[in-house]
């Protein structure tokens, strides 16, 4: 397939590499010629490393390079069959690029956006042919992360959805279909991993090191919430939470935490600034975890049951099917188990009891149990 990529920053460069590795002819376009040069050089470095490690041979490396053309001229997209946009997260700039594009590409060229937070339906609406538009949400780094969320707009043609999903499956990715909803699956369902951990921390039940230890040791998560927020960047993570909170009409389940806002304001952004919840300066001493198993179990159960509630809500609102929700969390954020399968294992009744206990204790909406879980508990049924 002839593929076009718009924007060669972090995501566009990675997606171009993925497409060329799957033998697509790729044109990469950016307004910034320096960014094009940087992306080209970075790809050569990445390919050399892959050859060195024996992941690909020299022929494959040369083939990938020869399949990618870097261009500062949008007219080079005239033969494209699928275009993926990965430019700055600004709806007006994206829409103006899509409108220019429509006068260049053929009538059956699919146009896709890699946006993390904008409504796919609202972007599609700017086109003369909105039925050709779709969301394809890759994760960073695109060549390594297996998951791609495929988000049809309400205008998207069924044939466009099928062709896009088939093609990205062919690229070796695991695709999941998602209804056009803020945060899609991963950025919605993952909110309590951060939000509930922050709440436990703000209440003084445990410190960051103890919460991280509990989630990793008992839960099997690769990173604890605070390590992960420091890795992502507290500014970035806070903005995603705030965006989801606003987009869901201020549902208290997604309410951002002051603890994170203050850190962000202080410039304690995490690893990238040398300090976040932890201090990354050389020789810095960070608090060690209180390895109390009873406390750790309380922490894990509380965060986990809130994650399960969010996953159940995603199914309840028909945002995605149960299999795709579990795949998304395993491949998009490396969770050790799908949350709905985990709920089956714990027992739906126990999940409902734990949520009701939190609700009765706090009298806060954020702890309301998803009606689907309650219904399943009554009928003694499972997700799988």
Ligand X SMILES: NC(=O)c1ccc[n+]([C@@H]2O[C@H](COP(=O)([O-])OP(=O)(O)OC[C@H]3O[C@@H](n4cnc5c(N)ncnc54)[C@H](O)[C@@H]3O)[C@@H](O)[C@H]2O)c1
Which residue numbers are catalytic?
116, 137, 149, 187
- Residue (11 or 341) nearer to ligand X, CB: 11
Of positions 41, 48, 93, 317, contacts ligand X by CB under 6 A: 93
89 is an interface residue for ligand X by CB under 6 A: yes
- Give yes or no for a contact between 117 and 92, defined as CB atoms under 8 angstroms apart: no
The whole-angstrom separation of Cα 305 and Cα 298 is 11
How many binding residues for ligand X (CB under 6 A)? 22
Stretch that binds ligand X, among 85-93, 189-197, 254-262, 334-342 (CB under 6 A): 85-93
Backbone angles phi, psi at 375, to 5 degrees: -65, -45
Of positions 17, 21, 61, 116, contacts ligand X by CB under 6 A: 116
Of positions 3, 4, 5, 6, contacts ligand X by CB under 6 A: 6
The residue number with the shortest CB distance to ligand X is: 9
148 is an interface residue for ligand X by CB under 6 A: no
The whole-angstrom separation of Cα 374 and Cα 384 is 16
- Residue (32 or 75) nearer to ligand X, CB: 32
The whole-angstrom separation of Cα 182 and Cα 251 is 12
The whole-angstrom separation of Cα 90 and Cα 93 is 6
- Give yes or no for a contact between 107 and 124, defined as CB atoms under 8 angstroms apart: no
User: Minimum distance from CB of 378 to ligand X (Å)?
Assistant: 39
Cα 155 versus chain centre, distance: 23
The whole-angstrom separation of Cα 296 and Cα 294 is 5
- State whether residue 4 is helix, strand or coil: strand
260 is an interface residue for ligand X by CB under 6 A: no
- Residue (123 or 215) nearer to ligand X, CB: 123
How many CB atoms are closer than 10 A to CB 340?
23
154 is an interface residue for ligand X by CB under 6 A: no
User: Any idea what DSSP says for residue 131?
Assistant: G
Largest Cα–Cα separation, the chain:
64
- Residue (70 or 213) nearer to ligand X, CB: 70
The whole-angstrom separation of Cα 236 and Cα 263 is 12
- Residue (123 or 373) nearer to ligand X, CB: 123
Of positions 3, 47, 50, 87, contacts ligand X by CB under 6 A: 87
115 is an interface residue for ligand X by CB under 6 A: yes
114 is an interface residue for ligand X by CB under 6 A: yes
How many CB atoms are closer than 10 A to CB 41?
10
Which tokens is 168 given? 């990205």
Of positions 2, 10, 217, 321, contacts ligand X by CB under 6 A: 10
30 is an interface residue for ligand X by CB under 6 A: yes
240 is an interface residue for ligand X by CB under 6 A: no
User: Minimum distance from CB of 76 to ligand X (Å)?
Assistant: 13
11 is an interface residue for ligand X by CB under 6 A: yes
190 is an interface residue for ligand X by CB under 6 A: no
97 is an interface residue for ligand X by CB under 6 A: yes
- Give yes or no for a contact between 159 and 338, defined as CB atoms under 8 angstroms apart: no
Strand duo 110-113 + 82-85: pairing: parallel
31 is an interface residue for ligand X by CB under 6 A: yes
- Residue (7 or 338) nearer to ligand X, CB: 7
- Residue (113 or 210) nearer to ligand X, CB: 113
Stretch that binds ligand X, among 45-53, 114-122, 285-293, 345-353 (CB under 6 A): 114-122
- Give yes or no for a contact between 377 and 344, defined as CB atoms under 8 angstroms apart: no
Burial class (CB in 10 A: 0-12, 13-18, 19+), 294: exposed
Task: Give the binding site for ligand X (CB under 6 A).
Answer: 6-12, 30-32, 35, 86-89, 93, 97, 114-116, 138, 140
């Amino acid at each position: 397939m002839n593929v076009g990529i718009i924007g060669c920053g972090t995501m566009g460069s990675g997606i171009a590499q993925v497409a060329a590795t799957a033998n697509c002819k790729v044109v990469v376009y950016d307004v910034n010629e320096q960014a094009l040069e940087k992306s080209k050089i970075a790809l050569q470095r990445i390919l050399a490393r892959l050859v060195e490690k024996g992941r690909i041979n020299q022929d494959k490396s040369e083939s990938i390079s020869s399949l990618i053309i870097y261009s500062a001229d949008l007219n080079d997209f005239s033969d494209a069959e699928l275009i993926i946009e990965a430019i700055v997260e600004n709806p007006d700039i994206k829409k103006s690029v899509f409108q220019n594009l429509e006068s260049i590409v053929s009538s059956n060229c699919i146009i896709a956006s890699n946006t993390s937070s904008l409504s796919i339906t609202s972007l599609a609406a700017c086109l003369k042919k909105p039925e050709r538009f779709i969301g394809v949400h890759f994760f960073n780094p695109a060549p390594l992360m297996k998951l791609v969320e495929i988000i049809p707009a309400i205008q998207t043609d069924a044939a466009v959805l099928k062709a896009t999903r088939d093609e990205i499956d062919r690229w070796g990715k695991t695709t999941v279909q998602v209804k056009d909803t803020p945060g899609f699956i991963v950025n919605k369902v993952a909110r309590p991993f951060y939000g509930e951990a922050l709440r436990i921390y703000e209440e003084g039940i445990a410190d960051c090191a103890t919460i991280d230890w509990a989630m990793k040791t008992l839960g099997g998560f690769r990173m604890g919430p605070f390590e992960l927020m420091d890795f992502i960047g507290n500014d970035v993570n806070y903005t995603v939470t705030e965006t989801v909170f606003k987009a869901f009409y201020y549902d208290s389940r997604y309410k951002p935490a002051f603890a994170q806002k203050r850190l962000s304001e202080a410039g304690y952004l995490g690893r990238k600034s040398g300090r976040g919840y932890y201090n990354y300066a050389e020789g810095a001493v960070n608090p060690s975890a209180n390895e109390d198993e009873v406390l750790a179990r309380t922490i894990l159960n509380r965060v986990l049951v809130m994650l399960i509630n969010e996953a159940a809500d995603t199914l309840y609102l028909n945002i995605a099917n149960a299999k795709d929700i579990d795949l998304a969390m395993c491949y998009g954020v490396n969770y050790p188990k799908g949350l709905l399968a985990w709920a089956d294992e714990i027992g739906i009744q126990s999940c409902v009891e734990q949520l009701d206990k939190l609700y009765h204790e706090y009298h806060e909406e954020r702890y309301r149990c998803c009606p689907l879980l309650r219904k399943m508990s009554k009928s003694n049924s499972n997700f799988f």
